[in-house]
Chains A and B, each alone.
Chain A
Amino acid sequence: RKEVEQDPGPFNVPEGATVAFNCTYSNSASQSFFWYRQDCRKEPKLLMSVYSSGNEDGRFTAQLNRASQYISLLIRDSKLSDSATYLCAGSGDSNYQLIWGAGTKLIIKP
């Protein structure tokens, strides 16, 4: 079983809609979680950290559900520019080590 799993998508979403996707993790000892955005043929960019209490940054909200071992990313009022692959990452056996998912592809359509 992969340690961090994501639905590869693509999620095809009309502009202005709300979209959410999850990322499950298998290591119950994981402490730190992050969402990254990666545009086609570009490097990943840190989107936001995921805190136990949840984290909101403008149209983006990240949540952590420890009981079910998943993190989520919600995007409200989606823009064409939100089209990208969204990677989640969680700490492994130590906080030094991050385990990455394969990413969820999001396509926002006009």
Chain B
Amino acid sequence: EAGVAQSPRYKIIEKRQSVAFWCNPISGHATLYWYQQILGQGPKLLIQFQNNGVVDDSQLPKDRFSAERLKGVDSTLKIQPAKLEDSAVYLCASSSLMGAPGPFGPGTRLTVL
């Protein structure tokens, strides 16, 4: 079974630039998560989709972050404009309905200069 795919794996941008990340979850998984993980911290949920609806986006900085899940499958996460404190690993995970998050994708390591 193919795992959760994410791209790009690494991204370096300057502050105030825009960036987008892509995630392709496990086929058939209804739930998709985007997490932000800063070095030395646990993952922080940014947004959780169930099919193509949003279940939880309470910690998403909506003034600069946006996310969508196309047709309940792939998802993109965008940051516009980026700030220095957005430097982190952005992890995508999927799960069956009501399952624990997982598997996770390999993540996108974002550096904002």
Contacts and interface: CB of A to CB of B under 8 A. Distances in A.
A97 B47 CA distance: 10
A77 B15 CA distance: 48
Interface residues of B, number: 19
A10 to B, nearest CB: 12
A100 interface: yes
A85 B49 CA distance: 27
Contact of A98 (B101, B103, B105): B101
Contacts, number: 47
A36 B55 CA distance: 22
A98 B35 CA distance: 11
11 contacts: A8-B40, A34-B100, A43-B91, A43-B103, A43-B104, A45-B103, A46-B102, A89-B101, A95-B98, A102-B42, A103-B42
B106 interface: yes
Interface of B: 40-45, 48, 55-56, 91, 98, 100-107
Interface in A82-110: 87, 89, 95-98, 100-103
Contact of B100 (A32, A42, A97, A101): A32
A87 B37 CA distance: 12
Given A96-B56, A97-B56, A45 B102 contact: yes
Interface residues of A, number: 21
A44 B44 contact: no
A100 B100 contact: no
B33 to A, nearest CB: 9
A100 B38 CA distance: 13
A26 interface: no
Nearest to B100: A34
Give 8 closest A-B pairs by Cβ, nearest first: A100-B42, A43-B104, A46-B102, A102-B42, A34-B100, A100-B43, A102-B41, A96-B55
Nearest to A42: B106
Contact of A46 (B40, B56, B98, B100): B100
A102 B100 contact: no
